Structure 1
């Protein structure tokens, strides 16, 4: 999969882009006692067209014997985020200049949260909760303090994992995606369809579409259980299981006046069906294409000729969405998401597995739709 659509929105919560694992010795160092830590490394690549498997990952135990130098902190990892875009990092070429491929036999990284245990950084102290977009899949880490951002637990009522979801990367993607690319007009009687609707981003996007003014919201997902949750817990008007026959007919019944806004998380045949029922001058929020991530195709993936014709004939907008392009709105968006969350208006679901040894399994399951809401790995307790 080349040049994936991912949203690097967590950059609003993270100062710096890379974790430094090897540092030259400097003066004024404080030796850390040697300790055993567990980490996950990339054992092999699935290939550009292959499905990831747990065998592509390896759990190791190693000694943490680095020295804590000026500017560094030692952290205990609390939570790790596993997300669809990480599939592209498993290839030798990630397909995008803003994310790096994982290296064979090197510790993996993604969004993460930890608590500081020791610090030689002027503005970070023991007990602080910190986050990074490049958090190592390791039980304890020595990190450069200037790559971390301190978090305010009150923004999420103490539910720290929400900083990796509803009030982090995922929430910013959903909110700003709908706001900037959905062109929702309150009172315009618009119908919104969300694919991957029971996932981390889709479950939020549907709710936010309603908050911003859509009169009808319909979700598409992969199980009857998820469909039930969308209507009972997330406030969708209807939900369709794409694995059942007759998706096009059922979608037409749910959206008799057509689709005005489509929040696309999956691409492929599902999106072909939705786009065929979109109205003139309607809008696609091109957020993700998870059905295409195991295929070595250009990005955005080529569309079916009829789908391409529908876009042109009906003047449907379909532009890739990058949250990084809306950095001036990040602070506002985080505050709004926090307000909705604390007021109980924004409903959040998480699929949580426990233990670093289950991180690879959580990622593989998420890629196959095994999660409801945000997939989180809890590495240790706070």
Structure 2
């Protein structure tokens, strides 16, 4: 019988604490026996994402997220291959993906929410199911189409924070493909700024660690900001909102800057910024891809087409081994990734 290991939540960081590798532990565990109606799968790739920081707290602060339990396997997006199945729709050799995959080498997986992967879309890059052809890609595309109000030929300026991350690196490129004229990315290093401009086609890049963000935005957005894809919240987003135009739009995707703090989600804004939103009639509504699952398949087809045509470039940071999953999560929360952070657990 194969060896089986899992990564569990060893201790909580505290509602205002930063996550640390010590919050996780990798240990041996039993090999699952597949039950009627279930699927036994071998884990190939795991996803680590900012929202998981909320799941490390006993109170996640969100009605749609349940907390991870101490000494139990963490879970999130994952890709694997079916080893055994007692469900009529899944067969050994099928490649599958779900948003509730245990951080475990071999797992019994429920068929609810389990998606078969189409080889014609993914080819040999199954990890794309966790990034550009998964939740981050769908969030970027559907978010822009539903909330961004990008109009071809309107000479619009589109700003993205967290622009070198899983979602942001796609959002800027997608905004261009959808018709935005001036794409501005905000990120945390000169290396990432060069990547945005030299490889991903952004017009301007702002390093929030070294630049005066307000001044650089004025230079990069002389006509103001028409759409803002917000991945970070906090002071960066408040600075962007102050330069947004009348009737502009905020796509409220994530707030990674405050995930380590005990505040409501989305966090409240200073009164000055709240007044600007009202006076300029700026829309700022929370965007959840889970509310648009009917558009998930359609968006995946469009994203795959752009990737195959070379119009959408995908970046990944890959960490090897299930025992490194906790470290990968902590690194991602500190900006250690370019594009999607992926843990490669095993080959098929």
Query: TM-score under structure 1 normalisation?
Result: 0.89
Q: Which residue, out of 38, 49, 62, partners 2:29?
A: 62
Assess if the C-alpha contact under 8 Å between 1:175 and 1:205 holds in 2.
yes
Change (3 A) 1:306 1:147: closer
Q: Which residue of 1 aligns with 2:14?
A: 47
Deviation at 1:306, TM superposition (A): 1.6
CA deviation digits over 1:305-363, x for unaligned, max 9?
22112111111110101122223322221111111111111100000001001000000
Q: Which residue of 2 aligns with 1:359?
A: 325
Deviation at 1:121, TM superposition (A): 2.0
What is the Cα-based RMSD across aligned positions, in Å? 1.2
Q: Which stretch shows the higher mean deviation, 337-346 or 350-359? A: 337-346
Q: Which residue, out of 290, 314, 320, partners 1:324?
A: 290
Assess if the C-alpha contact under 8 Å between 1:156 and 1:341 holds in 2.
no
* Distance in 2 separating the partners of 1:120 and 1:301: 45
Change (3 A) 1:324 1:68: closer
Assess if the C-alpha contact under 8 Å between 1:349 and 1:374 holds in 2.
yes
* 2:170 counterpart of 1:204: yes
Q: Which residue of 2 aligns with 1:134?
A: 100
* Distance in 2 separating the partners of 1:144 and 1:281: 45
SS in 2 for 1:344: coil
Which ranges of 4 or more aligned residues in structure 1 deviate by more than 6 Å?
none
SS in 2 for 1:235: coil
Change (3 A) 1:333 1:219: same
Q: Which residue, out of 217, 226, 250, partners 1:284?
A: 250
Q: Which residue, out of 140, 156, 171, partners 2:122?
A: 156
SS in 2 for 1:291: helix
Deviation at 1:67, TM superposition (A): 2.9
SS in 2 for 1:345: coil
Assess if the C-alpha contact under 8 Å between 2:62 and 2:265 holds in 1.
no
SS in 1 for 2:284: strand
Q: Which residue of 2 aligns with 1:262?
A: 228
Query: TM-score under structure 2 normalisation?
Result: 0.97
Assess if the C-alpha contact under 8 Å between 1:284 and 1:318 holds in 2.
yes
SS in 2 for 1:359: helix
Question: Gaps (5+ residues) in structure 2?
Answer: none
* Distance in 2 separating the partners of 1:131 and 1:250: 41
SS in 2 for 1:339: helix
SS in 2 for 1:200: coil
Deviation at 1:146, TM superposition (A): 4.3
CA deviation digits over 1:36-55, x for unaligned, max 9?
21100111100111000011
* Distance in 2 separating the partners of 1:120 and 1:303: 50
Assess if the C-alpha contact under 8 Å between 2:33 and 2:40 holds in 1.
no
* 2:209 counterpart of 1:246: no
* Distance in 1 separating the partners of 2:84 and 2:67: 30
Deviation at 1:147, TM superposition (A): 4.6
* Distance in 1 separating the partners of 2:278 and 2:111: 49
* Distance in 1 separating the partners of 2:49 and 2:118: 23
